Amino acid sequence: MTTEPVESQPVAASWTRWLGRPGRSLTRRLIWLASAWIVVALTLTGMVLTSQFEESGLRRLGGVLGTTVDEVLLATRSGATGVTTAQIQDSRTLRQLSGKYWAVAELTPDGRLVMLSRSVSLWDAEMPTPFELPEMLADARGKTISYNARGPADEPLRVAASVKSLTGQANPIVFFAAIDRSNIDQDTDAFARVTWIALALLGAGLVAAVFTQVQIGLRPLYGLRNEIAAVRKGEAARIERAYPIEIQPLADQVNRLLAHNQEVVERQRTHVGNLAHALKTPLSVMLAEAGSQPGLLPDVVRRQSEIMKGQVDHHLRRARAAARAQGLGERTPLGEVLDELAVMLERVFETKGVEVDWRAPDELGFRGERQDLQEILGNLMENACKWCGRRVRVSAGPTGLGQMVVVVEDDGPGLPADRYEEVLKRGARLDEDAPGSGLGLSIVDDLVKAYGGRVTLARSDMGGLKVLLELPAAEV
């Protein structure tokens, strides 16, 4: 398949593709092969048909010429004085330049033709004879030969020549009969014209049929490609449609590959989680132990543990983001996640009396994994709860083009605008005075970017920080 990022290729668009791109197109290959075969076959057919038609015309002329030769032969007298031929009773041979001629000639031993008599119609013109006629006559061994020539009125002629040995004559006598063949030529031309036009139409029709056939035949492939594109874009989890038996195995293999991918992603995530678990408890111990004692060593241990914790968090996040980049076809209802987080955070911040007011359309969903949406919104909403006066507002809506905007804001003191950029960076922490996890904004930024989204900070009209998230949306 092609490597350029063609998202979808409707059948009609492959026209330009077929005409425009040489080389690796299946359509092009199939159509070229079929077209070449069609052109060769139809050309041969046309040639055979026209030549057959012409030959049958000439055979008809040959019959007429044979009769004329016979008549001339009958009108010929052979005597001691030589050969004399009377005019035959054919009106056309008696009319000057009528297009029907005869002649009688003597073939001398040195290979020359000496004309003895000719039809009236020839008038004083010679019967046209090709230069190599004597040899042709010799080769023919008594059979009648035919050839084309130009007549006295420059008309196309069909000439029959027959060699006879007449009694009393030393040299063989050649009897010629000629007839205008322009009718036959015209007929042949007309036939050829009609035949070629018909064959050209047939050819064009066949090529069009092949084209259609290839398009229809390859349509499941385009369908498969579109489905795979949909999977890559996260709109579908697997190949769902049934395909013809020739490519169903391909679809099955793709599904198997997808399943395998998913499994690898899951496994990686589990490893990552286990590693986090394994490292964080010891880090907790070191932090607590060092925190409980004064001195230089505990200070160093505490500082280094904090750095380790940051590093572990960062790298685990990176690994998860990498695993997620190939996350496939998941969709998560936004309302559900907002609801569970709101319930949970209100309980956690109950002493403070925090109220989380969330608004999102029921059918709005996040095109991605639930865990990731929980991570993004959990961090932002927890942060808002931590810093708010009493109220946190989360509102979401689709923006079209498969995107949505989620806004998380609070009525706290907010953040000066010149620090917005800094807090999105890795490791930057805004709550150095508050123990526990950091602002989590860098986690959010990493995750949102992994989904091709964007995080923007602004001041809320409630007074506090307003975080705008652009995320891929899906209907649920």
Partner 1 sequence: MRVLLVEDDVDLSRQLKGALSDAGYAVDHAADGEDAHFLGDTEPYDVVVLDLGLPKIDGVSVLERWRRDGKTTPVLILTARGAWSDKVSGFDAGADDYLTKPFHTEELLARLRALLRRSAGIASATLTCGGLRLDPRAARANVNGEPLRLTSLEYRLLHYLMMHQGRVISRTELVEHLYDQDFDRDSNTIEVFVGRLRKKIGPDRIETVRGLGYRLTPLAGEAEAA
Applying CB under 8 A, which of residues 115, 116, 250, 276 lies at the interface with partner 1?
Answer: 276
Closer residue to partner 1 (CB): 125 or 312? 312
**Tokens describing residue 230:** 């949909």
Q: Residue 339, interface with partner 1 (CB under 8 A)?
A: yes
Q: Residue 356, interface with partner 1 (CB under 8 A)?
A: yes
- Give the x/- contact pattern for partner 1 in 359-378, rule: CB under 8 A: x----------xx--xx-xx
Span from 159-167, 183-191, 202-210, 350-358 in contact with partner 1 (CB under 8 A): 350-358
Q: Residue 297, interface with partner 1 (CB under 8 A)?
A: no
Applying CB under 8 A, which of residues 187, 235, 346, 470 lies at the interface with partner 1?
Answer: 346
Locate the DSSP E strands across 401-441: 403-410
Sequence-distant (6+) residues with CB within 8 A of 284 are: none
How many of the chain's residues bind partner 1 (CB under 8 A)? 47
Closer residue to partner 1 (CB): 44 or 285? 285
Q: Residue 188, interface with partner 1 (CB under 8 A)?
A: no
**Tokens describing residue 284:** 């907790």
Q: Residue 112, interface with partner 1 (CB under 8 A)?
A: no
Q: What are phi and psi of 159, to 5 degrees?
A: -115, 135
Instruction: Give me the sheet containing 100-107, strands edge to edge.
Output: 113-118, 100-107, 173-180, 156-164, 145-150
Do 369 and 324 meet the contact criterion of CB atoms below 8 Å apart? Answer: yes
Q: Residue 277, interface with partner 1 (CB under 8 A)?
A: yes
Q: Residue 284, interface with partner 1 (CB under 8 A)?
A: yes
Distance in angstroms (rounded) separating the CA atoms of residues 349 and 384: 11
Closest among 307, 455, 430, 323 to 376, alpha carbons compared: 455
Partners of 100 in the β-ladder: 179
Q: How many CB atoms lie within 10 A of CB 330?
A: 19
State the nearest-atom distance from the C-beta of 378 to partner 1, in Å: 3
- Give the x/- contact pattern for partner 1 in 436-465, rule: CB under 8 A: xx----------------------------
Distance in angstroms (rounded) separating the CA atoms of residues 124 and 113: 16
Query: Parallel, antiparallel, or unpaired for β 355-359 and 391-400?
Result: parallel
- Give the x/- contact pattern for partner 1 in 231-270, rule: CB under 8 A: ----------------------------------------
State the nearest-atom distance from the C-beta of 261 to partner 1, in Å: 21
- CA atoms lying within 13 Å on the CB side of residue 468: 14
Closer residue to partner 1 (CB): 106 or 382? 382
239 CB-contact burial (10 Å; exposed 0-12 / middle 13-18 / buried 19+): buried
Span from 12-20, 51-59, 141-149, 284-292 in contact with partner 1 (CB under 8 A): 284-292
Applying CB under 8 A, which of residues 341, 423, 450, 474 lies at the interface with partner 1?
Answer: 341
Interacting residues with partner 1 between 191 and 230 (CB under 8 A) = none
**Tokens describing residue 22:** 């040489």
Run of H or E residues at 338: helix 334-348
Query: What does the binding site for partner 1 look like in residue numbers (CB under 8 A)?
Result: 273, 276-277, 280-289, 291-292, 305, 309, 313, 339-344, 346-348, 350-351, 354-359, 370-371, 374-375, 377-379, 390-391, 435-437
